[in-house]
Amino acid sequence: MKTPWIGTSWKMNKTRAGARAFAEALKASPFANTTKAQLFVIPPFPYIAEVADILSSTRVITGAQNMHWADQGAWTGEVSALMVKDCGATLVELGHSERRTHFGETDETVSKKVAAAVKHGLIALVCIGDTRSEYEVGATADVLAKQTRYALRDVGKSAPGNVVIAYEPVWSIGEGGIPAGPGFANAQHAKLKALTAEITGQPLPILYGGSVNRQNCCDLASMPDIDGLFIGRSAWDPAGYIGIIDAVTQRLGETA
């Protein structure tokens, strides 16, 4: 039985009270210390320390949604790896398509951030994805390979244990997104596992994200090359997140 990663990023949502309520509900759930999955929660920056503190007695990882590649300096509005760690986070999400689209994130800057995260002992959760037009012309595999090669360029053999990849089709994420079919997603994951093994010496965990919900989570997580789920709005309510964890771990237990 595989141990899937199951996590959620709240993006720019929740108040402090809402963040605290979610963390408390997760802490009180039967899955707070589960060994059947590796859970992670990625709050907005203002709530990282409080969420991390609440979840400190659990096996749930707390992450940040972005960081800069420099340790310090004249980077107004940015946050360093050292600051992320100081708040209690042990994971950082990098290269999300919304960052690439709206804030000028590039393969080059993602590469620098991954290297900084690994240098400081953070788990780098690297998001990669193809656009609708790239998907329609059959360029998905080439696009994902390019983004992955850049992300791992400066970490190479030190990536295993320190880097996780999340395949998030740009055409699947967000409101109105269309989830990738399990077979299509699994095929991309298989290619990515082979590529990461070539670059780092062993395959890295590859998660799927993109309109994951209670209806499709088990079919996706059951695929042999999908190592977990990165969930959006379906997991922003603690009951929704816990429900997906319960469903996935039960299904994997049945098929083990």
Return d(Cα 176, Cα 122) in angstroms, integer: 32
Provide the residue type at 22 as one letter.
F
* 159-164 average pLDDT score: 98
Return d(Cα 140, Cα 192) in angstroms, integer: 11
Return d(Cα 109, Cα 158) in angstroms, integer: 19
Q: What is the pLDDT of residue 4?
A: 98
Percent of the chain with pLDDT over 90: 96
In the structure, what pLDDT confidence band is assigned to residue 30 with cuts at 50, 70 and 90?
very high
At 61 the three-state DSSP class reads strand
Residue 66 has pLDDT above 80, yes or no: yes
Which of 162-176, 192-206, 232-246 shows the lowest per-residue confidence on average (mean pLDDT)?
Answer: 162-176
Return d(Cα 78, Cα 80) in angstroms, integer: 7
Average of per-residue pLDDT values in the chain? 97
**Which tokens belong to 204?**
């890295």
**Which tokens belong to 182?**
């399990």
Q: How many Cα neighbours within 13 Å face the side chain of 128?
A: 29
Q: What is the pLDDT of residue 97?
A: 96
Q: What is the pLDDT of residue 225?
A: 98
In the structure, what pLDDT confidence band is assigned to residue 1 with cuts at 50, 70 and 90?
confident
Provide the 8-state DSSP code for 211. S
DSSP E strand stretches across the chain: 5-9, 38-42, 61-64, 91-94, 123-128, 163-167, 206-208, 228-231
* 38-53 average pLDDT score: 98
Q: What is the CA radius of gyration of the chain?
A: 17
Q: What does the pLDDT look like over 207-245, one tens digit per residue?
A: 999 999 999 999 999 999 999 999 999 999 999 999 999
Q: What does the pLDDT look like over 72-97, one tens digit per residue?
A: 999 999 999 999 999 999 999 999 99
* Positions marked catalytic: 96, 168
**β pairing state of 228-231 and 5-9:** parallel
Return d(Cα 22, Cα 20) in angstroms, integer: 5
Q: What is the pLDDT of residue 129?
A: 98
Residue 138 burial (CB < 10 Å; 0-12/13-18/19+)? exposed
Q: What is the pLDDT of residue 177?
A: 84
Q: What is the pLDDT of residue 95?
A: 98
Return d(Cα 256, Cα 3) in angstroms, integer: 11
Q: What is the pLDDT of residue 174?
A: 79
* 92-116 average pLDDT score: 97
- Count H helices, E strands: the chain? 10, 8
Return d(Cα 193, Cα 213) in angstroms, integer: 24
Residue 175 has pLDDT above 80, yes or no: no
